[in-house]
Amino acid sequence: MNNHKMIFIEGLPGSGKTTFSKKLHQYLTSKNEKAIYYTEGMHNPLSLAWQGLFSDEEFHFLLETFPDLSENIKANTIKQIGKNVVAYIKVSVSEEQKSFYDYVKKYEIYDASKSDFINTYQLLYHEFRRTHQVLNESHIFECILLQNHVNQFLAGYNLNEKDIFNHIKSLIDNFSSFNILIIYIKQTNIKNTLNKIARERLSPNKNIFPDWIDTVIDYITSTPYGKLHNLKGKDGLIEYSTRRQEIELAILSKLKIPHLVVELDEDYDKVFEQIKEVVIE
């Protein structure tokens, strides 16, 4: 690979984004290429998913409210865009302390107004651009460009495809001088894939976290989009996911940046060979 890249690996849940991101990171480092991989839930220079944003005063009060967790909270907090950003799912809690998660979720940017959401992410992307005049290594980002933003604009704010496209383009325009590549893993059978990951992603302790499928169904059906379209249960999630994939692929076709769309099947090795080929060219 001649130039370091910003690589965004996108697709619906169950597309193998984590698997392919890890394999790509391992492959690049095995070739002595410098590469960093960011996954969901960890601190990420371009994503605030699963993070709570606190002012200094709010953060101090958080530590006072959960004194038994204070050291663990501080160990999973960094400063970004002038906020204390807490990666709350990295903080281990007991059943008696599970109110911590509900407390921190109230400080997620995904519960903010559209203008606050847009402004916060513009700050985040500007900060990355300011601190990375050049790329000294490749950056592999999992599901943070399309998935998080399309979900927020479609489900959370019930906005149209044009508004979603303009928002994502405004973010990606920050990196016009960088070598960008988007890899989209397209699902050909969304229902089967959702059933498969529902069986795989079971909560180790339902008293703290419900199963993944129940969490996602509850979220989607309770959003403005879900209520408007009367989405119910797993069928509603399939309907929403189908629409989301259509929008993401349409946006990708309009963005004037290099991208690869690969169809998900059972042959993961074949898909990965396609990804490797486009990354190293």
13 touches 197 (CB < 8 A): yes
Q: Looking at residue 2, what is its pLDDT?
A: 46
Backbone φ and ψ for 121, nearest 5 degrees, come out as -70, -30
183 touches 278 (CB < 8 A): yes
Q: Looking at residue 22, what is its pLDDT?
A: 94
Q: Looking at residue 209, what is its pLDDT?
A: 76
Q: Looking at residue 266, what is its pLDDT?
A: 67
Q: Looking at residue 172, what is its pLDDT?
A: 95
Ranges of H-type helices in the chain: 17-30, 56-65, 70-75, 99-105, 114-131, 147-150, 161-172, 190-200, 212-222, 224-228, 233-254, 268-280
Helix/strand/coil for 102: helix
Give the pLDDT means over successive 10-residue stretches in the chain (281 positions). Answer: 83 92 95 91 92 98 97 97 95 90 95 96 96 91 94 96 96 94 94 90 81 92 96 96 97 94 84 90 73
Go through the domains of the chain in sequence order and give each one's CATH number.
6-47+112-280 (3.40.50.300), 51-107 (no CATH)
pTM higher than the cut 0.75: yes
